[in-house]
């Protein structure tokens, strides 16, 4: 598995981190996961995902970077604006 393929894994991590962050922000109930742990997990996934997509971009594949960045923003917006009870 080379860097371009790892870039898609990075894009997936960025999308999941965006969704997790949006879900945490929009939650009205008390979360079972403490805020510092959630921040550390989201930040770790974001940094790892971003490093993987940047490395793939430097190897000549720009799809993971664009997909990860736009997907993370879209996933966060989706998590914030969808109604949950």
pLDDT digits 0-9 by tens, 22-55: 888 887 777 777 878 888 888 999 999 999 999 9
| pLDDT reported for residue 64 | 94
pLDDT for residue 84 is more than 70: no
* Structural tokens at position 76: 């966060």
| pLDDT reported for residue 30 | 73
pLDDT digits 0-9 by tens, 53-75: 999 999 989 999 999 999 999 99
Q: What's the distance, Cα to Cα, between the start and end of the chain in Å?
A: 41
């Amino acid at each position: 598995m080379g860097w371009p393929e790892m870039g898609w894994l990075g894009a997936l991590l960025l999308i999941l981190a965006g969704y997790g962050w949006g879900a945490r922000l929009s939650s009205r109930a008390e979360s079972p996961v403490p805020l510092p742990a959630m921040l550390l997990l989201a930040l770790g996934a974001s940094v790892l995902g971003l490093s993987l997509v940047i490395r793939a971009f430097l190897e000549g594949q720009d799809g993971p970077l664009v997909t990860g960045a736009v997907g993370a923003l879209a996933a966060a917006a989706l998590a914030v604006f969808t109604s949950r009870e």
